[in-house]
Amino acid sequence: MVWTVAPEPYDSSVAAALWRAYCTEVSDRWYLLHEGRRTDPEELEREIAATSGADLAPPKGRLLVARYAGEPAGSAGIRLRAGATAELTRVFLYTGMRGRGGAALLVRAAEDAARASGATRMVLDTRGDLVEARALYARLGYAETEPHNADPYAEHWFAKELG
């Protein structure tokens, strides 16, 4: 099967489905770890609605969608920050699509999009319980750094020179 990665409007139905799946997974993982329960459905709906994704629209951002055999499989976004820095966000693959190389492909495509937008450095944050994400970023050359934001859920910050 063949992977493809292409820009996607942040407000498309494909983007909305991926955002819902991403929010559900990371929220449920947090609540199961810390409170032994899944996310309250009303809270999940508020979180999904509160983040439109407009910050991933050009020219200051980009949302990329990976497709496997033509079907939406995952996403990654970038936001341009001050100077020549971009922030990687929303890296996600549907559970059934994992282990096929799509995550690395998405991150590399996001790096290419950041470079094309003038960025020479990529930063990101993640949580401690997202061990797969931390392993992916380390494997792709990201190094842990000091915090670059005050996100209350961020526990690990990474950076990579895009050169």
Amino acid identity of residue 160, one-letter, is K
pLDDT tens per residue, range 94-130 = 999 999 999 999 999 999 999 999 999 999 999 999 9
User: Residue 131: is it exposed, middle or buried by C-beta count within 10 angstroms (0-12/13-18/19+)?
Assistant: exposed
Return mean pLDDT, the chain. 94
pLDDT for 78 equals 98
68: which strand partners? Answer: 3, 71
Query: How far are the Cα atoms of 17, 65, 131 from residue 34, in angstroms, in the given order?
Result: 26, 31, 16
Among 14-23, 41-50, 75-84, the range scoring the smallest mean pLDDT is 41-50
Cis before 58 (ω within 30): no
The model's pTM is 0.93
Tokens of 103: 């995550």
User: Residue 30: is it exposed, middle or buried by C-beta count within 10 angstroms (0-12/13-18/19+)?
Assistant: middle
pLDDT tens per residue, range 52-85 = 899 999 999 999 999 999 999 999 999 999 889 9
